[in-house]
Structure formats: structure tokens, C-alpha cells
Structure 1
């Protein structure tokens, strides 16, 4: 437990199957008990054990502050709602996104995926995955369970703590980091941004139409973060750290490096998004590599670094 004057922060860890092997939530014990993010589905025991270490139970949580609606950050919200009556604070744009029509998401995702050059079975699977992700996200964070739709830039006072929500899209389009001053330190609850183990993937809007904006959105997020002074970062993966500025700089370099790598793969003769994924995948889960690759290719086209033509319904990319 890290002392913040009259406020303490306790890290709760939830096991998961992929690196770094966990996701974290943070209990902020101030005038009221605030949980920033809420772990994975099927990890109720970890939630209870983490709270018990602070002599609390799920019913004692007064507020849940959500960084973004990915399941590893909202998974135990149903447990908290069943146990008590916490006030749920979540990004306003996420509430709108969770209310999207599933059939419309399927249609737009399929339309965006069709030019990628995937085999038909993979195309169907990817489009259905987009719908399943939406439905799972809103089962864990039902839009009508959100009491406070948070707008970035508007001060958020919760349980005696004043948070400054910062819009940090790219990994996820609605993602908010929450800055606060605790015990004289400027801290950041960063969700899936500014992680020591890795740069978070460009998932932004999945395969929906926003995928084209993911690279500039992530760059804008890094600009917004770079303008901040942060003494301590509380991330959703990896250790709490005091390496904020260097991690933001690293993430920018890694993003630029990934863009260059995709451009180089096209220059090497990989003409479709599917072919680029095969060239750069290196053992990574295609569910994360494909949306990032599609987003980077769209950015390269917009930047004039790659040319796109459509042949028999498949987008083909070339570098002059």
C-alpha cells in the first residue's frame, strides 16, 4: 500500500493467460473507496482477496472509475454491482460505442475486412469476433449501469479525489487516463497506456470505420501525455513506475518503428494486409496484429508513403 497522505492506493492483481500474466486495478482509499478498473471476468476470487488485504469486501466499494471498456478492465463490474451499489464512472464516448447496433458493426467490419485479402473462413471469423467483442463488452459494462458519463477535460471529483480525465485513444478509441495529485505527488492511472512491458496494440475501433484513425489518434494521445508531469504511474499491466516520460518517448519510437516495419513489408512485395500480417506476425496473435496492420496501412496511404489500389475486391499496396 502506497501512502498518499490521507489517501492510499492499493494494487489489485488479476491473473491472465498472456504476457505479462496479469492485469491490475487500483483501490484508492480516500473519503470513499474508489476502484480504478475492475479486472477480468472469472477472477472474482482475486477481487475478493485483493480487497480483503485492505479489510474490505466488494460491497464496500463506493465508486468504479473505468479507463476503457476492454474486458480485462471491466470484468468484475458485475460482481461489484451484485454485491453493492457503486457509482460507475466511464468514458461518455464508450457508453455511446457500447450502444451500437450489433448488425451494423458486423456489416461495417466485414466491409472493411473484405479488401484485406483474408481467406473466406478467416473473414467470417474476424467479422463475428468484432460482434462478439461488442456484446461481451456491454455484458460487463452495461450502458445503463453507467451513472456518470465522463468527458475528457472536465474535472471529475470522486470520493474526495479530483481526477483530470485525459483522452488517450489509439489502443482503444474511448480510453481515458486519470491524472490526480495524491499526497503531493502527480500520479496517473493509465489503464493500457504508458506500460513498462510493452507499447499497447493499436486496437482503437477494431474493424469498424474508426480503424483508419488509429495511428494519428495514438500519436495525439502521446502528445497529450507528453505535456504532463507525472511522478508515479499506475498502469493496468506491469509494475507501478516512475518512468513516465521515458516510457512515453519509447512508445512513440515503437509506434513509428511499427509503421516503418509495415511500410518495409509492403516494399518487400507483401501486397495485401493479410500478407503483411504474415510477414510481420512473428508469433503474435493475429487478432491484435491484423487491426493494427490495417490501421497502419490506412495511415501510410493517407501520408502518401504507400499507394492503394483495389483489384477484384482486394486492396493491394505498393511503395514507389
Structure 2
């Protein structure tokens, strides 16, 4: 099922939505009109979620007078499955120039087996065991293999560097690196119908903060919280401040400063909550993550967030770690 509507009452940018089973129930991509049609991100794979996503993309484009074959540029914010899922359909139907974050090139060149070994070592040291450990390792390997099959590096024509300005379809896009949710994540600022617009991917979402995944349970988890905060600082420093934000989840909005501040507050509350869980006697990552998840949420994506949080709090001197039977256990400093 798709929803395609004109965002902000303009014919220059159209939003195409795909239904998904996780909150907030949709993921979006954007069609930019101009000298040539530009697609920013590419939704979910057909076989994931509620299905029919190839039809959703085709129907959304059709509502604005285009077919898949018309797409001349595909711009990627980050390589999560719900944002590159229809890239193969676009590549098969058209011959677009593909623009993707430069960091993805090295990430996709990595060996899946070596990644699995690092994740197993990091997760084991964090106290993750049994089925949770096996799932975490399998998820890391499968995500890398799946995502680079959806966005083959050989299909990328332009590896976008942070801070770079480039032109697609008559639009000048300036890329800013906003890691934390995903380590290579870029947002793109441009002018649309007299407004400064931000094509934000999974950044600056209202009303919720994206989970701190960064690079999952790989070695980058130690810097994930600091990376997220750095990305928020970069959003705050955009000059001029965007008038309108086009995120891939949640509504289009005009409150970048407010959303950035709410995300900062959410990160502070998460760190405070982790500190409180440790004070209450939960000394390992699995216990902390399960306490955060409660009865209503899956612990899967809270494991990397909890693991990154304790690493951040250890680095700032708020927590001290001791290794007990091969597992890092945390106490208040």
C-alpha cells in the first residue's frame, strides 16, 4: 500500500510512503522534480514488512506522472534495508546515477565472516549469550550481505563525501554527516520552491528519536552516543537553518531546532536511565536492555543502544567496568 502526497503544497517534492509493521507504520522516500526526476531513498524490499512495496513505488511515481524508468538520479541517505529496499527495482527499470555516502563503500567491502567474529566477541564480552548471541551474530552477517546486495557498490556512481555539494536534476545538494543511528548517515540540504529544505532520512524525525544503532555490535558501538550527539550538533549548525525537514519516518515538519533539542534530551534521559539501572543492581548489558524494553518492546535493537550507552558512560567516568567470568560488569563510579 502506498501513500503519495505533495509535501508542503509544492509540485517540486512528492512523498511516497510504504506501509511497514514497525512504528510509526510507514517509511517514505521523496521524488524531486526539476531538470530530471530524482529519487531520494528507495523504501522497503518487496519481500519485507507488509509486501507489495514495488507496486507502492510504481503507484506513487505514477501519481506524479512518472514511471520507474524515468528516474535519472537515486540519492541514498544511509544503507538500512527500509531505505534501499527498492534500489534493485530502480536499477532494473532505469539507468540512474546513484549517489551514496562514501563511508558505505568501505563498510560494504568488509568481510561478513570477520564482522560476525567481531560481533560475537563484543557481544560475548557484554554478557550476551545463548539465542540472543546467535541472533545478534546472524543479524550482523545477514544485514551486511543483504544490504550490499540491495545496493551493489559497483552500481554506485558517486560516493558522496561529508560536506560535499553536488547537483542532481537542477538541485544543489549539500551533504552533512549525521551518524549515531547509522554510522555513514548523510542528510542533504537544498533549496526547494524558495525554502531551504533538508532531506533527512532517519535524522530529525518527529515525534521520536531513532534508536542508537550506529554499526550495531561492531567495534564502533563504543563511540555511538558521542557520534549521535555530534550529528545533532551538525544539524544545529546548518546555515541557513532549514525551513522544512523531509524525514523518512514521521511527518514533514518545520521545527528542526526543536526536534534536535528533543533528541538531545532523549539521549540524556537514556544515559540517565542506564545509570539508574546500574544503581539498581543491573550490571550487564542484557539486563539493562531488557529493563529498558519492558514487556512491550523487542530487545533486539535496544541491545546495541544499551551496549553503546554503558561504553559512553564508562568513557565519561560515570561507570566503571570489571571483567567477571569474561563478562564486563558495570558499577557506578
1:281 aligns with 2:293: yes
Q: Which moved more, 1:68-77 or 1:238-247?
A: 238-247
1:246 aligns with 2:250: no
Q: Is the Cα contact below 8 Å between 1:4 and 1:182 reproduced in 2? A: no
Q: Is the Cα contact below 8 Å between 2:178 and 2:228 reproduced in 1? A: yes
Q: Is the Cα contact below 8 Å between 2:77 and 2:185 reproduced in 1? A: yes
Shift in Å, 1:269: 0.2
Shift in Å, 1:156: 1.5
Shift in Å, 1:197: 2.6
Q: What is the rounded CA distance, in whole Å, between the counterparts of 2:192 and 2:75 in structure 1?
A: 16
Shift in Å, 1:213: 0.7
1:93-134 deviations in whole A, cap 9, x for unaligned? Answer: 112101110011001101110022223232122111110111
The match for 2:317 among 304, 307, 311 is 304
Distance 1:312 1:2, change over 3 A: closer
Equivalent residue number for residue 198 of structure 1: 208
Shift in Å, 1:136: 1.0
Equivalent residue number for residue 270 of structure 1: 282
The match for 1:95 among 99, 105, 128 is 105
Q: What is the rounded CA distance, in whole Å, between the counterparts of 2:209 and 2:7 in structure 1?
A: 25
The match for 1:295 among 308, 312, 315 is 308
SS of alignment partner, residue 286 of structure 1 = coil
Equivalent residue number for residue 271 of structure 2: 259
Q: What is the rounded CA distance, in whole Å, between the counterparts of 2:8 and 2:316 in structure 1?
A: 47
Shift in Å, 1:2: 4.6
Equivalent residue number for residue 125 of structure 1: 135
Equivalent residue number for residue 27 of structure 1: 31
Q: Is the Cα contact below 8 Å between 1:3 and 1:183 reproduced in 2? A: no
Q: What is the rounded CA distance, in whole Å, between the counterparts of 1:16 and 1:168 in structure 2?
A: 24
Shift in Å, 1:183: 2.0
1:63-212 equivalences in 2 (<5 Å): 63-212=73-222
SS of alignment partner, residue 234 of structure 1 = strand
SS of alignment partner, residue 106 of structure 2 = helix
TM-score normalized with structure 2 length: 0.94
Q: What is the rounded CA distance, in whole Å, between the counterparts of 2:144 and 2:299 in structure 1?
A: 18
Q: Give the total of aligned pairs.
A: 319
Query: CA-atom RMSD, angstroms?
Result: 1.2
Q: Is the Cα contact below 8 Å between 1:156 and 1:162 reproduced in 2? A: yes
Q: Is the Cα contact below 8 Å between 1:177 and 1:188 reproduced in 2? A: yes
Equivalent residue number for residue 49 of structure 2: none
Q: What is the rounded CA distance, in whole Å, between the counterparts of 1:124 and 1:48 in structure 2?
A: 37
SS of alignment partner, residue 287 of structure 1 = coil
SS of alignment partner, residue 12 of structure 2 = strand
Equivalent residue number for residue 12 of structure 2: 8
Q: What is the rounded CA distance, in whole Å, between the counterparts of 1:18 and 1:144 in structure 2?
A: 31
SS of alignment partner, residue 300 of structure 2 = helix
TM-score normalized with structure 1 length: 0.97
Q: Is the Cα contact below 8 Å between 1:4 and 1:184 reproduced in 2? A: no
Q: Is the Cα contact below 8 Å between 2:7 and 2:252 reproduced in 1? A: no
Q: What is the rounded CA distance, in whole Å, between the counterparts of 1:190 and 1:248 in structure 2?
A: 12
Shift in Å, 1:4: 8.9
